[in-house]
Structure 1
Amino acid sequence: MSDHPIPTAQRERHAEREHHSQFGLLRERRFAPFFWTQFLGALNDNVFKVGFSSLVTYQTARFSGVDAKTAAFLISAIFIVPFVLFSATSGQIADKYDKATLTRFVKTFEIAVMLVGGAGFWMHSAPLLYVCTFLMGVHSTLFGPVKYAYLPQHLNDRELVGGNGLVEMGTFVAILIGTIIGGAAAGFVEHGAAILAFGCVAIALVGRAVSSFVPVSAAPQPDLQINWNPVTETWRNLALARENRTVFLSLLGISWLWFVGATFLTSFFNFAKDVLSADPDVVTVLLATFSLGIGIGSLLCERLSKRRVEIGLVPLGSIGMSVFAIDLYFASHALPPAGHLLSVGEFLAQLGHWRILADLFLLAMFGGFYSVPLYALIQSRSQPTHRARIIAANNILNSFFMIVSALMAIVLTSLGVSIPGIFLTTALLNVVVATYIYSLVPEFLLRFIAWVLVHTFYRIRLVHPERIPETGAAVLVCNHVSFVDAVVIMAESPRPIRFVMDHRIFRTPFIGWLFRHAKTIPIAPAHEDAAMLERAYDACAAALAEGDLVCIFPEGKLTKTGDINPFKHGVSEIIRRTPAPVVPMALRGLWGSVFSRADDAHWPRPVKRGVMSRLTLAVAEPLDPHAATPEALQQIVTELRGVRK
Structure 2
Amino acid sequence: MLNAETQAIAVSTVSPAHAQHPNQFALLKQRRFAPFFWTQFAGAANDNLFKFAFTVMVTYQLSVDWLPPAMAGLVIGALFILPFLLFSATSGQLTDKFNKTAMIRLVKNLEIVIMGLAAWGFMADNVLVLLGCTFLMGLHSTLFGPVKFAYLPQVLGERELTGGNGMVEMGTFVAILLGNIAGGLLVAIPEVGHRDVALTCVLLALLGRGVAQLIPSAPATDPGLVINWNPVSETWRNLKLAHGNLVVFRSLLGISWMWFFGAVFLSQFPSFAKEVLHGNEQVASLLLVVFSIGIGTGSLLCEVFSRRHVEIGLVPLGAIGMSVFAVDLYFASRSLPPVEVMGLGAFLAQSAHWRVMADLLLLSLFAGLYSVPMYALIQLRSQPTHRARIIAANNILNALFMIGSSVIAGALIKSGFSIAQIFLFTGLANAVVAFYIFMLVPEYLLRFAAWVLSRLVYRFKVQGDEHIPSQGAAILACNHVSFVDAVLLMAASPRPIYFLMDHRIFQVPLLGWLFRLAKAIPIAPRAEDPVAYEAAFEAAAKVLQEGDLLAIFPEGGITKDGTLQEFKGGIMKILERTAEQGLSVPVVPMALTNLWGSYFSRVEKGAAMVHPFRRGVLNRVGLNVGAAMAAGEVQPGVLRARVAGLLGEGVAR
Q: Same fold per TM (> 0.5)?
A: yes
Instruction: Measure, in 1, the Cα distance between the counterparts of 2:551 and 2:425.
Output: 43
Aligned residues: CA RMSD: 1.3
Partner of 1:47: 49
Instruction: Measure, in 2, the Cα distance between the counterparts of 1:307 and 1:470.
Output: 14
Instruction: Measure, in 1, the Cα distance between the counterparts of 2:65 and 2:481.
Output: 74
Q: Does 1:624 align with 2:626?
A: no
1:455-511 deviation line (CA, Å, top 9, x unaligned): 112112211101010100001100000111101111111100000111122233422
Partner of 2:179: 178
1:419-441 deviation line (CA, Å, top 9, x unaligned): 00110111111011001101111
Conservation of the 8 A alpha-carbon contact between 1:482 and 1:595: yes
Conservation of the 8 A alpha-carbon contact between 1:605 and 1:612: no
Instruction: Measure, in 1, the Cα distance between the counterparts of 2:447 and 2:67.
Output: 48
Q: Secondary structure at the match of 1:616?
A: strand
* Residue 605 (structure 1) shift: 7.3
Instruction: Measure, in 2, the Cα distance between the counterparts of 1:449 and 1:64.
Output: 53
Partner of 1:129: 130
Partner of 1:613: 619
Instruction: Measure, in 2, the Cα distance between the counterparts of 1:506 and 1:115.
Output: 65
Instruction: Measure, in 2, the Cα distance between the counterparts of 1:517 and 1:170.
Output: 36
Q: Does 1:408 align with 2:413?
A: no
Instruction: Measure, in 2, the Cα distance between the counterparts of 1:19 and 1:592.
Output: 37
Instruction: Measure, in 2, the Cα distance between the counterparts of 1:365 and 1:326.
Output: 15
* Residue 18 (structure 1) shift: 6.2
Amino acid at match of 2:565: N
Match of 1:590 among 566, 590, 595: 595
Q: Percent identity?
A: 58
Partner of 1:458: 458
Alignment of 1:561-600 (within 5 A): 561-578=561-578, 579-599=584-604
Q: Secondary structure at the match of 2:529?
A: helix
1:350-390 deviation line (CA, Å, top 9, x unaligned): 11100000000000000000000000000000000010000
Amino acid at match of 1:563: T
* Residue 64 (structure 1) shift: 5.7
Instruction: Measure, in 2, the Cα distance between the counterparts of 1:505 and 1:612.
Output: 24
Q: Does 1:351 align with 2:351?
A: yes
Instruction: Measure, in 1, the Cα distance between the counterparts of 2:473 and 2:158.
Output: 18
Q: Does 1:557 align with 2:563?
A: no
Conservation of the 8 A alpha-carbon contact between 1:70 and 1:410: yes
Alignment of 1:518-537 (within 5 A): 518-537=518-537
1:311 to 1:363, Cα distance in 2 relative to 1, 3 A: same
* Residue 335 (structure 1) shift: 2.0
Conservation of the 8 A alpha-carbon contact between 2:238 and 2:392: yes
Partner of 1:29: 31
1:159-216 deviation line (CA, Å, top 9, x unaligned): 1000000000000000000011000011123221111111101110111111100110
Conservation of the 8 A alpha-carbon contact between 1:446 and 1:514: yes
Moved over 4 A (4+): 600-607
Alignment of 1:68-83 (within 5 A): 68-83=69-84
Q: Does 1:196 align with 2:202?
A: no
Q: Secondary structure at the match of 2:510?
A: helix
Instruction: Measure, in 1, the Cα distance between the counterparts of 2:435 and 2:190.
Output: 47
**Which deviates further from its counterpart, 168-177 or 196-205?**
196-205
Amino acid at match of 1:27: K
Amino acid at match of 2:102: T
Q: TM-score, normalised by structure 2?
A: 0.94
Alignment of 1:289-304 (within 5 A): 289-304=290-305
Instruction: Measure, in 2, the Cα distance between the counterparts of 1:31 and 1:241.
Output: 27
Q: Secondary structure at the match of 1:527?
A: coil
1:85 to 1:421, Cα distance in 2 relative to 1, 3 A: same
Q: For structure 2, list consecutive stretches of 5 or more residues without a partner in the other structure.
A: 1-18, 579-583
Amino acid at match of 2:308: R
Partner of 1:325: 326
Alignment of 1:206-225 (within 5 A): 206-225=207-226
Conservation of the 8 A alpha-carbon contact between 2:598 and 2:615: no
**What is the aligned length?**
624
Partner of 1:428: 428
Instruction: Measure, in 1, the Cα distance between the counterparts of 2:483 and 2:65.
Output: 69
Conservation of the 8 A alpha-carbon contact between 2:481 and 2:592: yes
Q: For structure 1, list consecutive stretches of 5 or more residues without a partner in the other structure.
A: 1-16
Q: Secondary structure at the match of 2:528?
A: helix
Amino acid at match of 2:627: E
Q: Does 1:226 align with 2:227?
A: yes
* Residue 319 (structure 1) shift: 0.3
Instruction: Measure, in 1, the Cα distance between the counterparts of 2:82 and 2:565.
Output: 63
Conservation of the 8 A alpha-carbon contact between 2:475 and 2:552: yes
**Which deviates further from its counterpart, 564-573 or 498-507?**
498-507
Partner of 1:162: 163
Q: Secondary structure at the match of 1:374?
A: helix
Partner of 2:507: 507
1:605 to 1:320, Cα distance in 2 relative to 1, 3 A: farther
Instruction: Measure, in 1, the Cα distance between the counterparts of 2:598 and 2:338.
Output: 56
Conservation of the 8 A alpha-carbon contact between 2:256 and 2:394: yes
Q: Does 1:236 align with 2:242?
A: no
1:612-632 deviation line (CA, Å, top 9, x unaligned): 311110111111111111000
Instruction: Measure, in 1, the Cα distance between the counterparts of 2:172 and 2:38.
Output: 10
Alignment of 1:443-482 (within 5 A): 443-482=443-482
Partner of 1:90: 91
Instruction: Measure, in 2, the Cα distance between the counterparts of 1:100 and 1:331.
Output: 46
* Residue 65 (structure 1) shift: 3.4
* Residue 334 (structure 1) shift: 3.0
